[in-house]
């Protein structure tokens, strides 16, 4: 089967993360899947954003000032309130900006609704991460209403067969599997817990490990358990080549252009 090339947060290396310009860029490059993160606002709108709170490294208020920690939780704001923030540029001088020197700012960009993305992306796949944690129950909806809000959006747009719902918090995945079995799920694991056995035991079929924790041993184990393997977030050319050589089913990158180059060079 062909490699599933996933543009991480759209194409974070090239355009402001989790925004419509980043998704446009990734689609133009030819990704098969857009990776993105979601939260739910106080008034129930599913929005595309990585952090449970506004991020001081990328959000500016209506006065043009960068937000400061502690920043408001996405779930504490209405969608209208959230629209007052500009997320089109990384804060100059921040470590975050230094990590992504090629990201082209698009000032004035707002946090999109999931429905806005569905409206502009007609054939690409979606890998949608529920940003929720048992450690921060007050910052998001609870797992069931969170997963249900997302399922409802996916069904309303009719993109069930083009969608995977992914999470580190397996509770939301169990809700999806129970209530929307037509939508695929992917189980994320961290660098410190790269165990495909746990994913399999939890009922998973797709394992998405931190790529730095992926090796021939745990990959072989995952294969023996019948899991698909889609590591995140592989950005450096040497790492991209190594991960492709391992024989993964997909690869999640902030730089889909680099993955395409590696595929071309490798004659893949």
**Helix, strand, coil abundance in the chain, percent, nearest 5:** 35, 20, 45
Asked if 129 interacts with ligand G3P (CB under 6 A), we say yes
Asked if 129 interacts with Ca ion (CB under 5 A), we say yes
Q: How many residues bind ligand G3P (CB under 6 A)?
A: 11
Q: Which member of 15, 16, 33, 37 binds ligand G3P (CB under 6 A)?
A: 37
Asked if 233 interacts with ligand G3P (CB under 6 A), we say yes
Which tokens hold the place of 207? 């394992």
Asked if 17 interacts with ligand G3P (CB under 6 A), we say no
Asked if 4 interacts with ligand G3P (CB under 6 A), we say no
Question: Which residues partner with 16 through β-bridges?
Answer: none
Closest distance of CB 129 from Ca ion, Å: 4
Contact between 34 and 116 under an 8 Å Cβ cutoff? The reply is: no
Report how far residue 219's alpha carbon sits from residue 50's, in angstroms, rounded to the nearest whole number: 27
Report how far residue 150's alpha carbon sits from residue 113's, in angstroms, rounded to the nearest whole number: 11
Which tokens hold the place of 98? 């230094």
Q: Which is nearer to ligand G3P, 78 or 87 (CB)?
A: 87
Binding mask 162-191 for ligand G3P (x = CB under 6 A): ----x---------------------x---
Asked if 51 interacts with ligand G3P (CB under 6 A), we say no
Asked if 139 interacts with Ca ion (CB under 5 A), we say no
Report how far residue 199's alpha carbon sits from residue 170's, in angstroms, rounded to the nearest whole number: 9
Q: Which is nearer to Ca ion, 41 or 167 (CB)?
A: 167
Q: Which member of 208, 218, 235, 253 binds ligand G3P (CB under 6 A)?
A: 208
Q: Which is nearer to ligand G3P, 8 or 89 (CB)?
A: 8
Contact between 128 and 153 under an 8 Å Cβ cutoff? The reply is: no
Q: Which member of 47, 121, 159, 252 binds ligand G3P (CB under 6 A)?
A: 252
The residue assigned the tokens 């959006």 is: 153
Binding mask 77-106 for ligand G3P (x = CB under 6 A): ------------------------------
From the list 10, 12, 13, the residue with the least C-alpha distance to 23 is 10
Contacts of 37 (CB under 8 A, 6+ apart): 9, 18, 48, 49, 50, 128, 129, 131
Provide the binding-site residues for Ca ion, judged by CB under 5 A: 37, 129
């Amino acid at each position: 089967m062909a490699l599933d090339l996933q543009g991480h947060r759209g194409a974070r290396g090239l355009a402001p993360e989790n925004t419509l310009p980043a998704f446009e860029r990734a689609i133009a490059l030819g990704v098969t899947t857009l990776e993105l993160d979601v939260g739910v606002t106080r008034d129930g709108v599913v929005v595309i954003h990585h952090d449970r709170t506004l991020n001081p490294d990328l959000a500016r208020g209506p006065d043009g000032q960068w937000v400061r920690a502690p920043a408001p939780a996405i779930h504490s704001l209405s969608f209208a309130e959230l629209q007052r923030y500009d997320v089109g540029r990384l804060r100059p001088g921040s470590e975050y900006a230094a990590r992504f020197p090629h990201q082209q700012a698009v000032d004035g960009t707002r946090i999109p609704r999931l429905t806005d993305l569905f409206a502009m992306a007609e054939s690409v796949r979606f890998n949608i991460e529920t940003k929720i944690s048992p450690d921060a129950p007050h910052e998001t909806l609870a797992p069931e209403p969170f997963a249900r809000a997302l399922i409802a959006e996916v069904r309303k747009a009719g993109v069930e067969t083009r969608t995977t719902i992914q999470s580190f918090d397996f509770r939301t995945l169990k809700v999806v599997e129970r209530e929307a079995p037509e939508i695929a799920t992917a189980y994320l694991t961290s660098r410190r817990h790269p165990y495909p056995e746990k994913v399999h035991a939890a009922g998973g079929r797709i394992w998405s490990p931190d790529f730095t924790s992926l090796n021939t041993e745990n990959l072989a184990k995952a294969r023996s358990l019948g899991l698909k393997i889609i590591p995140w977030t592989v950005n450096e050319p040497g790492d991209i080549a190594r991960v492709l050589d391992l024989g993964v089913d997909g690869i999640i990158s902030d730089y889909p252009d680099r993955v395409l180059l590696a595929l071309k060079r490798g004659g893949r």
